[in-house]
Each structure stands twice: as C-alpha cells, then as structure tokens.
Amino acid sequence: MRQLLIVDDEPIAVEGLRSGVDWASVGIGRVMTAHSVDQAKEMFREQTVDILLCDIEMPKGTGLQLLEWVREHYPRTETIFLTCHAEFHYARAAIQLGSLDYLLKPIPYEELAAIVAKAVEKIEQERRQSEFSQFGKFWVQHQPVLTERFWLDILHQAIPAREEAIRRAADERNIPYSDQLVFLPILLRVRRWYRDYSLRDKKTMEYALRKAAEEMLAQRRERGFLISVEDDMSLVVLNGEKEAYDDERLRQLCEPYIEACRTYFHCDISCYIGERVRGHEMAAIYQRLRRLDADNVAYDNRIFRLGELQEAAAPRALPDMHPWGSMLKEGAREKVVAEAERFLDNQVQAGQLTQEVLSPFIQDFQQMVHYVLHLKGIMAHQLLSDRESTELFARASRSAKDAVLWIRHIVGKSLDYADTETLAPSVVARAKAYIQQHLAGEISREDIASHVYLNPDYLTRIFKRETGLSISDYLLRQRLGIAAELLASTDQPVSAVAVRIGYANFSHFSRMFKKYTGMNPMEYRQSRQHDGGGGT
C-alpha cells in the first residue's frame, strides 16, 4: 500500500478529499495532510510520500514551487495538481515539472480515485522495471558464477542425480537448462608445475589456464563452458551432440592446449575425455573421470578416453629393497636412484604401473631410507619434515615422474646430511652453538638432538667422544662459567645471576656453583673482587 499527501490551504477542502474517496480500494494505505508548502516539506522529511495531491494556488508558496522542490529532492513521488482556474499556463507549467495530471475543482471523487489508481499503477510498474533492471544487471555480472555453482552442485550431488530434481533446481535458480541437452565433459588435470610459484602467482596461472581452456576447447559460450572443480582441476563441458565433436576433432582441440600448457604455463597436464551424457548423468561420469585420473600414474601430457587405463597388464612383484638399503648405507646414492628409476620405467614400458603398484613402492622406499637413517642415528622425521620434502612426498604417489623427483630428493638430502655426520666435530660444533643460544632457558638433550636431526643417544656418544663430557656436564659447565663471570665483573644480585643462566631455585644454584668452584656464590664474588676480578 502506498502513502498519499494532500496539500491545500483550505482545511475544509482537505478534509473533504480525505474522507470522500475509498483510498484503500485504489492502493492507498495512509493519507496525510498539510496546509502549506512548509508543512508539506516537513512531512516529506519525516515520511515517505508516494503521491502528492496538491492545490496550485496557496499563500506563502505555490504548488508549482513545491513540485519543483519535490522533483529535486524526491524525484520518485508522483504529483497530481488541483486548481480552481482552468488556465493554460498552469497546466503547461505543471506538465513541464512532471505532474502526472491536472484537475479542476470541484473534483468528482470517482475521477480523482481513477487518477490516483493510475498513479499507484505507474509507481508499481516503475518499481518492477527497476527491480528487473537491477536483477538483469546482477544476472549479467553473476550469471557465470551462478551457472558454475549450479553445475558444481550437480557434480557433487548436492542436487540429486534425477531429471526432475535438476530441472527444478535450474528453474529455481533461473539457469537455462533442458532435459534434452546432451553434454560431453573433459576433465583437465595439472599434473605438476615446473616453477615454484607464490600463492598469488599460482592463482594467476590457474586463471590463465582456465581462460586458455575456454578459448581453445569451448571456443564459444554456446559450444561449452568451464567449471573449476578444485585446485589444478577443471571440467570443460561441451555440446554433446554427435555431429559437434568426433574423436578427431576432440584430439585437434586438446593437443594444442596441452602443448600451450607446457610452453607458456610451465606445467604438465592431462585431458580425460568422457562420454556423451544428459544432465542427471553428469555426476557419475565426473566420478569416472576422476578415477581415471587417479589411476593414471604413468603418463603425462596425454589425452585419454574412458576405459583406456583399465586394460593394464597384471603388475609385477615389488622389488626387494634390502640390497638398495645396503648400497645406501655405503653411500652409493647414484646406484640406488638408478635402480628405483629402472624399476619404475620398466613398469611404465610394460603398461603395469598402476596406483596399486606405485603407492606401496613409495611406502617401501621410504621405510628403507628411514631404516638407514636410523642406523646412522639420524631422526628422519626431523630431517625430512621441511616444506619441500613434505610436498614432494605428498605428490610422489600421483605419478612415476613425481615419484622419481621425490626419490632423488630424499636420497640426496639423507646422504648429504649423513656425510656431514661422519665429521663428528661439525655436529658437536652445531650442538654447542645451540646450547650457547639457549643457556638462559629450559633445554634438554632431546632438544639439542632434534636441532641436529640425531637420535639423542647417538648424539651423546659422539659428543662425549669429541669433548670428553656428557651433554649435561657440558651444559652445566657453560652455565656456571657464565655465572662466575657475572659474579666477578658485575654487581648483579646472586639471585639475578641464577635466573640469568636458567636457575629459578637459588639454593640449587648455590649448591651446584660450590660443587663447580669450591666456593658459594658470595664467597666467589668476594674472592674475585679482592683479587681484582678474573675468571675461574
């Protein structure tokens, strides 16, 4: 319901208009009144005025002046003028200012009601046009996003895989869709990137890949569209009519795209071509394409059709890695890497490398390397927990090429570190440096061993062999040595000196200091100051 304001300097005329029309029947829910231009302006400031019913001739400001003000400040208000004079210049001025109509007093209430109803209908029509315009603008801007969300819900079965459910969802979302449409999906999977992109740069490259796929595969909007299903994976959905794309045409589309990805975007990619299906069958075909990608651990930069990887020969048994472990213990890294690469290459050439072969192979190889590191006293979970190692391991089971990259990395990093550990002084020097940095805090043998990636017992053995002291004795001597220097050269309270080297218990500090120097802290300070300072 709309709100109407009657403005006339004659109260009787105002009351007659207010009570003479069945306002609710013409869409008016509230009738307000004012007797001057100033009162009318105040009413506009306080209330929403949809329709202004105004006398032209009023003291202290005319209806035309009010209309001019209303047009400037409240341009959506519709205005109907009332006057006792049928003078043309009034009518012309009213029309120029945008008045909806011009009525002569006395006004038949039926005619007034009809004109107000006309004003209400005009307001409603403009509202609908405005909403439609806003929706149209929204749709143009967001329709690709809304369409992609619709298809993602189909692929992930947030919309059930039934014709009526998909049709209803399309209607609710105003998505163009027909049960008769046939689709041909192509899954695009980035196998690996050859440059270490930042997160921002990687997002930029992924966007470029998608745009290239739209231009080179879908080509035109009416022929297909692209859905980003997750990082490094997209689904191109083409027109599935048989005459649109045959096998040769699909190959002509995919091969240049794969080459462009290698040349310009520095990545390996594979294309998995599905079968022609209707909308309610898309979720099932999408899952089959994903399984095809997961099963493809042997080949990069190739085009596959459903069923091509299902005829792989029965896999051979996994290799015995005990000899590899012996070679690794002796430092023969090249031989171990060559043996692993030879096994994987033979599996690929024989068409026998599958996910069921590659995953346990990776697990066995990792176990072998960890065992060798254990024998050398090196903590594998510490040495190989860096970002590069964990990312390479996460990809190792995805393809033979990723497996080789990880094998070369883990063997190289492990033996490089093991080689440095044969030089015990370097390990001990790093352990000492770590101790010096943490003397004032809590520090344990395990903390130090973790810092140098060694088993605590193994570190203790080589530390004592090199220094003649256990780690705990060395730590104690370092702390008490610093305490002795502070007592001799500063006026810090003994309690502050104790805290400075990590002793919260003053009594325990005093006992340990006396055991170390033969004197308690105060005696030591007095003796050093009497002697003019100095060390222990």
CATH of the domain at 193: 3.30.70.270
* Number of Cβ within a 10 Å radius of residue 52: 26
What distance in Å separates the CA atoms of residue 324 and residue 337, rounded to the nearest whole number?
9
Q: Which long-range contacts (CB under 8 A, 24 or more apart) does 42-50 make?
A: 43/5, 44/5, 44/70, 44/73, 44/74, 44/77, 47/3, 47/5, 48/3, 49/3, 49/4, 49/5, 49/74, 49/77, 50/2, 50/3, 50/4, 50/76, 50/77, 50/78, 50/120, 50/123
Tokens linked to 415: 């033996």
For each of the chain's 536 residues, which pLDDT tens digit applies? 899 999 998 888 899 998 899 999 999 999 999 999 999 999 999 999 999 998 888 877 888 888 889 888 898 899 888 877 655 455 555 555 556 566 777 778 888 999 999 899 988 888 777 655 554 454 445 567 888 899 999 999 999 999 999 999 988 888 878 888 888 999 999 999 988 888 888 888 888 898 899 889 887 666 788 899 988 999 999 887 766 678 888 889 999 999 999 998 899 999 999 999 999 999 999 999 999 999 899 999 999 998 766 554 555 688 999 999 889 888 888 999 999 999 999 998 888 888 889 999 999 999 999 988 887 777 777 788 888 889 899 999 999 999 999 999 999 988 887 766 554 557 778 788 888 887 767 788 888 887 777 778 777 887 888 888 888 888 878 888 888 888 888 888 888 888 887 777 778 888 888 888 888 888 888 887 666 554 44
Residue 167 domain flag: no
Tokens linked to 82: 């009332």
Is the Cβ–Cβ distance between 227 and 234 less than 8 Å? Answer: yes
What distance in Å separates the CA atoms of residue 162 and residue 301, rounded to the nearest whole number?
35
What distance in Å separates the CA atoms of residue 344 and residue 297, rounded to the nearest whole number?
10
Q: At what angle do helices 63-73 and 37-46 cross, to 10 degrees?
A: 20
Question: What residues have CB less than 8 Å from 425, skipping those under 6 apart?
Answer: 466
SS3 at position 493: coil
Q: Are residues 417 and 501 in the same domain?
A: no
Is the Cβ–Cβ distance between 81 and 99 less than 8 Å? Answer: yes
SS3 at position 7: strand
What distance in Å separates the CA atoms of residue 400 and residue 386, rounded to the nearest whole number?
22
Residue 507 domain flag: yes
Q: Are residues 186 and 267 in the same domain?
A: yes
Question: What residues have CB less than 8 Å from 67, skipping those under 6 apart?
Answer: 52, 54, 79, 81, 94, 97, 98, 99
Residue 79 domain flag: yes
Residue 205 domain flag: yes
Q: Are residues 32 and 87 in the same domain?
A: yes
Tell me what pLDDT residue 316 has.
63
Question: What residues have CB less than 8 Å from 488, skipping those under 6 apart?
Answer: 524, 525, 528, 529, 533, 534, 535
We report the CATH number of the domain holding residue 451 as 1.10.10.60
Q: Give the Å distances, CA to CA, from 233 to 36, 191, 206, 221, 336.
A: 69, 9, 9, 20, 34
What distance in Å separates the CA atoms of residue 369 and residue 374, rounded to the nearest whole number?
9
Question: What residues have CB less than 8 Å from 253, skipping those under 6 apart?
Answer: 216, 217, 245
Q: Are residues 439 and 509 in the same domain?
A: yes
Question: What residues have CB less than 8 Å from 177, skipping those under 6 apart?
Answer: 166, 167, 170, 279
Residue 133 domain flag: no
What distance in Å separates the CA atoms of residue 280 and residue 290, rounded to the nearest whole number?
17
Q: Are residues 329 and 280 in the same domain?
A: no
Question: What residues have CB less than 8 Å from 248, skipping those under 6 apart?
Answer: none
Residue in the structure block whose two tokens are 């506009």: 44
Tell me what pLDDT residue 469 has.
83
Question: If residue 80 lies in a helix (H) or strand (E), which one and from where to where?
Answer: strand 78-83
Tally of structural domains, the chain: 4
Q: Are residues 403 and 330 in the same domain?
A: yes
Phi and psi of 205, rounded to 5°? -65, -40
Tokens linked to 443: 């520090």
SS3 at position 224: strand
117-129 core/surface letters (b: 16 or more CB in 10 A; e: else) = eebbeebeeeeee
Residue 204 domain flag: yes
Residue 146 domain flag: no
Q: Are residues 299 and 341 in the same domain?
A: no
Tokens linked to 88: 């043309």
Q: Are residues 375 and 287 in the same domain?
A: no
Q: What is the DSSP letter of 375?
A: H
* Number of Cβ within a 10 Å radius of residue 44: 20
Is the Cβ–Cβ distance between 3 and 28 less than 8 Å? Answer: yes
Q: Are residues 365 and 326 in the same domain?
A: yes
What distance in Å separates the CA atoms of residue 253 and residue 296, rounded to the nearest whole number?
21
Note down the domain range covering 97: 2-126
The pTM of this model reads 0.55
Q: Are residues 232 and 266 in the same domain?
A: yes
Q: Are residues 342 and 390 in the same domain?
A: yes
Q: Three-state SS string across 300-363, please?
A: CCCEEECCCCCCCCCCCCCCCCHHHHHHHHCCCHHHHHHHHHHHHHHHHHCCCCCHHHHHHHHH
Residue 344 domain flag: yes
Q: Where are the beta strands (DSSP E) in 194-331?
A: 224-230, 233-239, 267-273, 303-305
Q: Are residues 34 and 68 in the same domain?
A: yes
We report the CATH number of the domain holding residue 118 as 3.40.50.2300
Q: In DSSP terms, which residues pair with 237 in a beta bridge?
A: 185, 225
